[in-house]
Amino acid sequence: MTDLAGKHIVLGLSGGIACYKSAELCRLLTKAGATVQVVMTEAALQFITPVTMQALSNRPVLTSQWDAREPKHMPHIKLGREADAVLIAPASADLMAKLAQGRADDLLTLMCLARPLDRVPLLLAPAMNREMWAHPATQRNAAQLQADGVVVLPVGQGDQACGEVGDGRMLEPDQLLELLVAHFQPKLLVGQRVLVTAGPTFEAIDPVRGITNHSSGKMGFAVARAAREAGAEVTLVAGPLHLPTPWGVKRLNVQSALQMQAAVQAEVAQATVFVAAAAVADWRPAQAAEQKIKKDGCGLPPALRFVENPDILAQVAASERARTGALFCVGFAAESHDLEAHAQAKRVRKGVPLLVGNIGPATFGKDDNALLLVDGHGVLPLPHASKLQLARALVAEIARRLPSAG
């Protein structure tokens, strides 16, 4: 994973039990390709040692503005100039209050005040007791920080170290990594509402059996994440999958093609972009048995009659909003051979401006892929890469084709 390759991140730790999560966060940041400089407050030293953070960051941890190792004793100036971003995790109520007031009585707050505002973003991951988080003073400070251009990340909800339950937990390290990566992505879809379908459908034969396919849903989930990174409001209609929901994405779980159709119909009126990445089953049993079908000893399977499932993409593409350009539709085609010819034909048959083709057996279940984008002007191959990288490239192509792009 190289989402942060070439980025230099200053990771600040203020006092709080959530410092234990900062160790894993540091590891994930370096694994994503970033160089990490850790800065700790005196209070943070009560929860985790600099030795731990130094081992994970491979850099000496800075704790004092009077550090004699720094030329001219000005680490707060150098740190801010070198960083691509400053992420404080955990950000305590006290630290947020100091930053909101412009106070600078330790290295971390000094650095935040001295950083170049126009090019070094400051992101805070709050962590505190639920009552402290809900207190009007904390909420007032958070609002002031946001007005000053600071990115105040959401808090988690759940069990707290004090024994209480509620809002105020620091987000998990993988969530913080995802949000930091998203911060650096171009905001190409701000103001857009994107509806994505992903994964297979499951068509029941009886209560324990059914018909499905090899789709893992990873490409559709990657598209949902990439669209959210690009600033869109995203709804994901997912078939029977156990993939984690991308941060900030609204997820609707379905099983069958008919359920997916109903979910899409309920959401598509608010969408401006529809990406049909799901591998919807073409047929379903005409009627599912109410009880498990038993073998009768004859050696032959039971006779099943099938009916065709609705074509969700074609129905949406034929709607008035799609025809007038208010809704941009993107289809997917998973083929086994003759990709370009089948993808061209499917684009025309479905009536969509853009169709994404791939060789299904070569990518099912994998984290990488190669795509072929097909529109009315020809084809554009997207070479082999991770599905998230391909999803970001696809999002850029969608943004370029939207009417608002001019």
All domains in the chain, ordered by first residue:
8-183 (3.40.50.1950), 193-405 (3.40.50.10300)
Spatial distance between the Cα atoms of 89 and 45, rounded to a whole number of angstroms: 14
Spatial distance between the Cα atoms of 125 and 154, rounded to a whole number of angstroms: 7
What is the predicted pLDDT for the residue at 363?
77
Three-state SS for 251? strand
What is the predicted pLDDT for the residue at 295?
84
What is the predicted pLDDT for the residue at 73?
64
Using CB atoms within 10 A of its CB, is residue 113 exposed (0-12), middle (13-18) or buried (19+)?
middle
Contact 278, 259 (CB under 8 A): no
Q: Which two tokens stand for residue 11?
A: 């990771």
What is the predicted pLDDT for the residue at 406?
57
What is the predicted pLDDT for the residue at 362?
74
Q: Maximum CA pair distance of the chain?
A: 90
Q: Which two tokens stand for residue 381?
A: 């191959």
What is the predicted pLDDT for the residue at 1?
66
Residues of the chain with pLDDT under 70: 1, 68, 70-73, 405-406
DSSP state of 350: H
Q: Is 26 a residue of the active site?
A: no
Catalytic residue among 112, 162, 298, 329: 162
Contact 16, 90 (CB under 8 A): yes
What is the predicted pLDDT for the residue at 66?
77
Spatial distance between the Cα atoms of 336 and 31, rounded to a whole number of angstroms: 35
Rounded to a whole number of angstroms, the distance between the first and last alpha carbons of the chain is: 34
The helix (run of H) or strand (run of E) holding residue 34 is none
What is the predicted pLDDT for the residue at 157?
87
Q: What does the pLDDT look like over 163-174, one tens digit per residue?
A: 888 889 999 999
253 contact partners, CB below 8 Å, separation of at least 6: 238, 240
The helix (run of H) or strand (run of E) holding residue 201 is none
For residue 89, how many other CB atoms are within 10 A of its CB? 26
Residue with tokens 């943070």: 44
Q: What does the pLDDT look like over 194-220, one tens digit per residue?
A: 999 999 999 999 999 999 999 999 999
Spatial distance between the Cα atoms of 186 and 183, rounded to a whole number of angstroms: 8
Spatial distance between the Cα atoms of 222 and 402, rounded to a whole number of angstroms: 20
Number of H helices, E strands in the chain: 14, 19
